[in-house]
Structure formats: C-alpha cells, structure tokens
Chain A
Amino acid sequence: MTALLGYQSAMLLRSQRWLPPVLMYGIFLVVGVQAGQPVLDALGYAAAALLPVTAWLVRICVTQEPAAARAVVAAASGSYRAHLAALLTATLFACGLGVLGTVVVSMVSRPVNADYTVRVPPLSAGTAGLVAAVVCLLLGAAAGALCSRPLVNARGRGIAANAVVALLALVAVGSPARSAVSGLVRGSLTGTVGIPGTQLVLSALVAAGAGALACAVAARRG
C-alpha cells in the first residue's frame, strides 16, 4: 500500500492538478476569514470550505490515471487496492491542507467569542476546529468517491453530482458536517468550545462506507 500511495501522490503532486482545489481553498479563506475575527467563527468557516475542496481532490485522484496505466497497476495490486490508494491519497492531501488552514486561521483570528467579551482558550478552539475540519473533509471524500469513477463515469454528470452532493452534505439537516460547523458557530456566541466527537465518528463511518462501495465497484469494473 505504501508503494501505491507513493505512486498516486507523486502523480497528484507532479501533475499540478492539485493547484485549482488548493487555490479554491485559499480564496475561500482569504475572502471569508479576516484577521482579528472571533476564532470559532473563523474555524467553522474554514472547516466548511474544506468539504467541496476534498470532494474535488478525490475526483482528481481517481480520474488522473490513463486507463491503460490503471489496468497495469490493477493487475499488479488488485483493482480494489488501486482505487483505495487513490481515495486515501486525496484524503491525506486534504488532511494536510486542513491542518495547515486550521493552524493559519487559529493564528490570525482573535481568541474571543462572537461579541468580543469572553476569552476562548486558543488551544481547545484549535482542536475543535481541527476535528470539525476532519469531519468536513471525510464527508467531502465520501461525496467525491460516490460521484466519480467508477460509480459515475460520465464526466459532466460526475462534476455536477459532485458539486450538488458536496453542497447538500454541508447544508442538509442531520449532516455531521453541518452540525460540526454550526456547533463551532453556536459555541462562539457564548465562548464555549465543544469538540464534535459524535460527528467525527459518523462522518468516518460514512466515508468508510462510501470508500468501500467505490472500491468494490472498481474491483468489478477495473
């Protein structure tokens, strides 16, 4: 699996295909986060931005390999593992991006509640922001896995489905991402930090299910 991950990530990093989603994440943060803003609001916003970005990264990773090269790797390692490596590469890359974004946002924003009256402990705020970011990126990865090859093969339909599902995962009632983000924003009103642990478990289950389904279909269809 290490070799597969190395192969997939080298392909992602050297092709520069990672650049557009990373730029999108950067623009989201620059537009939405101002220096000196209350930390929990800013972290909630940063976490939410990571969801569509991860969905896009997953789409890039599972479609970047030419079909013949994919067949060669599938024969060597099995189609299931080959597809899993693509999904994991995108998710790990998004994790790195999420950690970076969370650290930067925590540093530039002010450790206070929404009306600047209560001090918020910066470390626990950062931790909660990181967990919320992971919740969002896991759901984004699930959206990307479900809306790309091999489950949705047509390019146009895949991109549209990816955007719609990513948006739904962010705003739909009952979505762990929405609940994690709104938990941060609500906590900001009173200055209390809650770590979205339940949401983390739920989103991990959703991501694992979506990934397993995509890999199983990949094993059938190469």
Chain B
Amino acid sequence: MKLRNVGRRYGRGGPWVLRGVDLELPAGGLVRIDGANGTGKSTLLRVLAGIDRPTEGQVADRPRTAFVPERFPAALPFTASDYLVRLGRIHGLRGTVARERAAGWLERFGAEAHDRTPMDELSKGTSQKVAVAQALLAEPELLVLDEAWTGLDVPARTELDLAVAERIEAGGTVVFVDHDPRRLAGALDELYTVVDGGLVRRTGALPDGAEAGPETRIVAVGPPGAEPPDGLPGVPAYETGPDGRLTLTAPAERSDALLRALLTARPPWHIEEVRAALPVVPAARAVLPEPAQGSAGPRADGRSPDDRSDGSDGSGRSASPTTTTRHLTS
C-alpha cells in the first residue's frame, strides 16, 4: 500500500493533523509508528486502516485490512464467539471457517472459557483479546495495531508478538503504535516518527529508550557449496565457517520463522544447533550485569526457561535487558 502526499484535518479550516505524508508499506514488513501524544499517530493509523479517508492526497493499492483499537468497549449485545464469527463473516470468511478460527484464537489467547460470555460482561483484558482475535482471524494483508497490547496479560502479549511475527512471515504487513519502546524492537523493519504532522523515517535506529531484544543463534549445514537462501525472515546476520557451517544470528522473535525457512528451503538445510545468542555488550556499557539468557543453555527457541512451558510458541521476548546494538536493514 502507498500513501502519497496524504494530509488529514478535521473540519474545514481546522488545523492539519497530518500533512505531506508519503509512505510505502512493504509486504512482509513490520512497521512501527512513534511520536509524542497528540501528534497524529492515531489519525495516521485510522487513515492506514481505511477508517478515515485522507483530506488530501491518495491511498493506493489498499490490501485486506484489519484494525485493533487501543480500548475495545464491549457494549455489544453478542457473546464473544458470536461477535468473532460475525466479524469473520464481515471480513469475508465463510461461517464454518470463521467459527473454527474464532475458537482457535480465543484458545490461543487463553480466553476460550469466555466464548459464551456476553461481551458486556467481559473484563477489560478479555475484551481486548476479543478485539485482537477479531483482527487475526481474518488473516489480513495489512494489520493495524493501535496500542493493541494495552490491557493484555503477559502470556497474551507474548502470543500477540508471536502472531505478529506469523503475519509477517505469511507476507502480511503489520503497522503498530505502542507505548513500550521495546515492543518487537528486534524485529522491526521500519520505524517512523510523526513530527509536526509529517512522517520522519528513521533507519538504523531503535525506538527511543529501546534496546534490541534477545537474539538467537542458529548453526546450519547446507548442501555443499550452497549459499544461504534469499529473503530469510528477520534479516539474520550470518557467517560461513571453514567447514561449510553457517552461523545465523536473528532476533529471537523471528527464530521460529527462520528455522522454518531453512528447513523448508529447497534443498533443505540441516540444523545443528539453536541457542540464545550471547549479546554483544558495547564497551561503554560493559559494567551492566550479564543478561540471564546468556547462560540459559541451549534451548530450541532462545527463550528463558520460565517464559512459557507448553512449547507452543517461539516468540521468546525475554524480560531481561540486553544491550545488543542492531542495525536494521530494510
């Protein structure tokens, strides 16, 4: 999708909230929008999601879109699963598919016990899970998240991180605003800041106050003389050893996708080792305590052992701080 010279103001003669915004959203890309309060982030998201039309400028090539608002008031006369099935049908799904996916997403977010609860009796967090499930069950080409993590419990946040990575892996685009600068910081493809109603693209930088998330190192052996496959998820840094072993380092959020890409490459690669990467500690910050996951031992997904126990996800955002500097390539 492309935005060309987009401007938006409310009411004729009102001040411009956005002006002269040019933006091209990459397929399979994760885009973060930053900006101080009241700078027009939400306005931009509403234009991106197709809720509002820009006052001037064009939006071209709109894909199938889904939106998750920050606060989802549940004053609707439906049960959670009834609402999700109806939204699935509005997204263009058949009834049976919508029902299956609604149940699946409620389960993934740990809200399956509430599928028959009326929406106006749901807690704030469970309402937010329904709002997130509504968007994910549509498997949209463009997913717009306006602080969608707010109000979710920790497992649900992790699950949403993972779902975002899956959407990107499937070729979708995800645009998000979040108050936590570390949110998906390691997996970002592009970062923009809204300043004075305009959009400033920042490359090679993490959001203010963010540190790169944990990384995963994968050692793989390919067919003799083979180059690593193109377009690997997470844009991993890699080096080839003298024995033909390839060592790849990628954000932990993308490690599952990266493994899948290597295993399903033609010809496939053989995985020899997967472990949490030791963060590169810059000299100036070397006095910081050693991050916990550096000594966590070889785990298949680079998570700290207490992260989750069912082994069903690999998003692996760990709470322990790391000080790796990453340069975004996009």
> Interface of A with B (CB < 8 Å)?
2-4, 6-7, 10-11, 14-15, 65-66, 68-69, 71-79, 219-222
Contact = CB atoms under 8 A, between A and B. Distances in A.
Interface in B43-68: 46, 49-53, 55, 65-68
Residue with the greatest number of chain B CB neighbours at <10 A, chosen from A71, A76, A78: A76
Contact of A6 (B66, B69, B89, B144): B89
A166 to B, nearest CB: 27
Given A71-B69, A75-B50, A4 B90 contact: yes
Contact of A220 (B52, B66, B68): B52
Contact of A14 (B66, B78, B131): B78
Contacts of B86: 3, 6-7, 10
A133 B324 CA distance: 72
A79 B52 contact: yes
B209 interface: no
Given A10-B78, A71-B69, A3 B89 contact: yes
A71 B66 CA distance: 10
A77 B86 CA distance: 12
How large, as a class, is the contact surface on chain B? 20 to 34
Interface in B1-21: 10
Q: Identify the interface centre among A3, A15, A220: most chain B CB within 10 Å of its CB.
A: A3
Contact of A76 (B46, B76, B77, B87): B87
A15 B77 contact: yes
13 contacts: A11-B76, A14-B77, A66-B76, A68-B72, A72-B66, A72-B67, A76-B90, A76-B138, A77-B90, A78-B50, A79-B51, A220-B53, A221-B52
Contact of B90 (A3, A15, A65, A79): A3
Contacts of A68: 69-73, 131
A177 B51 CA distance: 35
Given A6-B89, A72-B87, A79-B51, A222 B69 contact: no
A66 B131 contact: no
B134 interface: yes
A220 B52 CA distance: 5
B73 A69 contact: yes
Contacts of B124: none
Contacts of B51: 71, 74-75, 79, 222
B284 interface: no
Contacts of A219: 53
B72 A69 contact: yes
Given A10-B77, A68-B73, A73 B49 contact: no
Given A68-B72, A75-B49, 12 more contacts: A3-B92, A4-B90, A7-B89, A10-B86, A11-B78, A66-B73, A66-B76, A68-B73, A72-B68, A74-B49, A78-B50, A79-B50
Given A10-B77, A68-B72, A71-B46, A76 B91 contact: yes
A66 B75 contact: yes
A72 B77 contact: no
A222 B76 CA distance: 19
A150 to B, nearest CB: 11
Nearest to B62: A78
A74 B46 CA distance: 10
Contacts of A73: 87, 90
Contact of A71 (B49, B76, B77, B89): B49
Contact of A11 (B46, B52, B77): B77
Nearest to B73: A66
Nearest to B50: A75
Nearest to A12: B77
Contacts of B76: 11, 65-66, 69
Interface string B256-299: 00000000000000000000000000000000000000000000
B50 A74 contact: yes
B78 A75 contact: no
Interface string B128-154: 000100110010000010000000000
A213 B158 CA distance: 44
Which residue of A65, A68, A74 has the most chain B CB atoms within 10 A of its CB atom? A68
A198 B52 CA distance: 38
A178 B40 CA distance: 48
Contacts of B92: 3
Contacts of B134: 72
Given A15-B77, A69-B73, A71-B46, A76 B66 contact: yes
